[in-house]
Amino acid sequence: MPLSQRFTLTQYLIEQRRRFPDASGDFNALILDVALACKAIARTVAFGELGGVTGNHEVEGGASINVQGETQKKLDVLSNQVFIQMNEWGGHLAGMASEEMDAPYQIPTSYPRGKYLLVFDPLDGSSNIDVNVSVGSIFSVLRAPADAIASGRDLTEADFLQPGATQVAAGYALYGPTTMFILSVGNGVAGFTLDPNLGEFRLTHPDIRVPEQTQEFAINASNSRFWEPPVKRYVDECLAGKTGPRGKDFNMRWIASMVAEAHRILMRGGVFLYPRDTKDPSKPGRLRLLYEANPIGFIMEQAGGRASTGHQPVLGVRPSELHQRIGLVFGSREEVERIERYHHEPAPRASETPLFAERSLFRV
Ligand code: AFP
């Protein structure tokens, strides 16, 4: 399709809004502010060492640590600031929450307060930014509680604890060889590529569908000794390839940047697992529910894929904490359903699964 005929993100949003003749335009303006933040972050990331933005964020006494107990990169802090600056003033938001902030961010009283909540991971995969892997920003849009909208009161953590199924929209920007913006407003998934000449996101992937089957899986195999039996079983069967119960060979990938893995899976299928494991009993998984699992889960489901904790659909989980962690499996529908089935079935006896006994590559 000639470039001139490709919709911009703004045109796409206007088209989508025609489904809701009474819409105020607030929602579209919010998504455009989020997209602007992503463009600004893409630009900052692209300068890398030249822009003096690589490395840890240093404070008195050493590198700063976020609420997760993780070292903050300079770019984590900068990206968080960009999200706040671009989104606090427009009057569309009642408040924000981020991986990089302990508590909800209150919209300053100098700005009007609106009806949406924005939850985000400003720079996912950032612990690998210094080696130039693809990183991205993940966001989720929720409705603020009615009384908060009516009164304009400060928000509490509880206001954000909504199941993923209630998301109004979700998406991510990927800062890779090209910058892309992937969005679902609850009507399928559309992908936009940043046109560096225009500085605009142009619609390049109008209706993304995750292939239902796959021969590719992604998991951090260094955790194998901590996996629960259903995950061990699944991975063992994939590794057994043609000669095993699956009767086909599988390929494995691990980028350690979930947003990049999610994008690969959206484009060509696959399954991603960061399951609950026994590594640290105080952490029921590695990834965060509200700004990682829920938005990526929403995108996957809207693209015909599936997202699960292993035990239940991730979008059905009622959050208990702002920074709650959770086990996450997503991607091609048939694989995710298989992994869920393994979690619900009684563990097979060793005699029924020779892979588990003698030949498991990941035996403990
Ligand atoms: P960072 O944003 O701190 O780099 O974390 C990335 C992440 O949350 C997710 O994007 C990766 O899939 C996962 O962590 C990688 O975890 P491992 O380092 O345990 O493989």
Supply the CATH number for residue 63's domain.
3.30.540.10
Domain of 132?
3-205
Say whether pLDDT at 294 is over 60: yes
Inter-axis angle of helices 26-47 and 74-87, to 10 degrees?
A: 150
Identify whether residues 182 and 236 lie together within a single domain. no
Identify whether residues 145 and 118 lie together within a single domain. yes
Total-model pTM:
0.93
Say whether pLDDT at 359 is over 50: no
Q: What is the pLDDT of residue 19?
A: 86
Q: What is the pLDDT of residue 362?
A: 53
**pLDDT tier at 358, thresholds 50, 70, 90:** very low
Residue 124 is labelled as binding a ligand = yes
Q: Is residue 30 part of a domain?
A: yes
**pLDDT tier at 71, thresholds 50, 70, 90:** confident
Identify whether residues 145 and 255 lie together within a single domain. no
**pLDDT tier at 62, thresholds 50, 70, 90:** confident
Q: Is residue 322 part of a domain?
A: yes
Give me the amino acid identity at 251. N
Q: Is residue 189 part of a domain?
A: yes
Q: What is the pLDDT of residue 354?
A: 43
Q: Give residue 219 CA to ligand 1 midpoint distance, Å.
A: 11
Identify whether residues 184 and 228 lie together within a single domain. no
Identify whether residues 158 and 262 lie together within a single domain. no
Q: Is residue 360 part of a domain?
A: no
**Interval 39-50: pLDDT, tens:** 999 999 999 999
Residue 271, CA atoms < 13 Å, CB-side half-sphere: 28
Which residue's CA is the closest to the ligand 1 atom numbered 6?
A: 125
Which residue's CA is the closest to the ligand 1 atom numbered 8?
A: 287
Angle at 146 between CA 141 and CA 152, to 5 degrees: 90
CA pair distance 1, 147, nearest whole angstrom: 47
CA pair distance 250, 270, nearest whole angstrom: 10
Q: What is the pLDDT of residue 364?
A: 40
Region 347-357: mean pLDDT is 58
**Contact in structure between 185 and 308 (CB atoms under 8 Å):** no
**pLDDT tier at 350, thresholds 50, 70, 90:** low
Region 197-203: mean pLDDT is 96
Q: Give residue 52 CA to ligand 1 midpoint distance, Å.
A: 23
Q: Is residue 187 part of a domain?
A: yes
Residue 220 is labelled as binding a ligand = yes
Identify whether residues 228 and 197 lie together within a single domain. no
Angle at 331 between CA 325 and CA 333, to 5 degrees: 120
Q: Is residue 145 part of a domain?
A: yes
Q: What is the pLDDT of residue 353?
A: 56
Region 292-307: mean pLDDT is 98
Q: Which residue has the higher pLDDT, 21 or 313?
A: 313
Substitution candidate for ligand 1 out of 274, 323, 330 with most atoms within 8 A of CB: 274
Note the Cα 172 to chain centre separation in Å. Answer: 7
CA pair distance 55, 318, nearest whole angstrom: 36
Query: Which residues form the pocket of ligand 1, taking CB atoms under 6 Å from any ligand atom?
Result: 70, 124-128, 220, 256-258, 274, 286-287
Substitution candidate for ligand 1 out of 67, 220, 259 with most atoms within 8 A of CB: 220
Sign for the pseudo-dihedral over CA of 85, 86, 88, 94: negative
Residue 123 is labelled as binding a ligand = yes
Q: Is residue 152 part of a domain?
A: yes
CA pair distance 122, 120, nearest whole angstrom: 6
Identify whether residues 100 and 183 lie together within a single domain. yes
Identify whether residues 102 and 160 lie together within a single domain. yes
Q: Is residue 74 part of a domain?
A: yes
Kindly report the backbone phi and psi dihedral angles of residue 78, in degrees, each rounded to the nearest multiple of 5, phi listed first.
Answer: -60, -45
> Of 205, 235, 265, which one is at a domain's C-terminal end?
205
Residue with tokens 């569908």: 209
The least confident of 14-23, 166-175, 249-258 is: 14-23
Say whether pLDDT at 92 is over 70: yes
Identify whether residues 185 and 287 lie together within a single domain. no
Residue 127 is labelled as binding a ligand = yes
Percent of the chain with pLDDT over 70: 95
Q: What is the pLDDT of residue 361?
A: 52
**pLDDT tier at 357, thresholds 50, 70, 90:** very low
CA pair distance 62, 56, nearest whole angstrom: 9
CA pair distance 63, 52, nearest whole angstrom: 16
Alpha-carbon Rg of the chain, whole angstroms?
Answer: 21
Residue with tokens 């499996």: 329
The least confident of 53-57, 63-67, 353-357 is: 353-357
- Number of domains observed in the structure of the chain: 2
Identify whether residues 22 and 108 lie together within a single domain. yes
Region 238-242: mean pLDDT is 97
Say whether pLDDT at 272 is over 70: yes
Percent of the chain with pLDDT over 90: 81
Q: What is the pLDDT of residue 60?
A: 79
Strands (E), 131-224: 135-143, 169-175, 179-184, 190-195, 200-205, 216-218
Identify whether residues 281 and 195 lie together within a single domain. no
* Beta-sheet pairing, 116-124 with 93-98: parallel
Say whether pLDDT at 360 is over 70: no
Identify whether residues 325 and 188 lie together within a single domain. no
User: CATH number, domain at 307?
Assistant: 3.40.190.80
Return the SS3 of 311. Answer: coil
**Contact in structure between 363 and 241 (CB atoms under 8 Å):** no
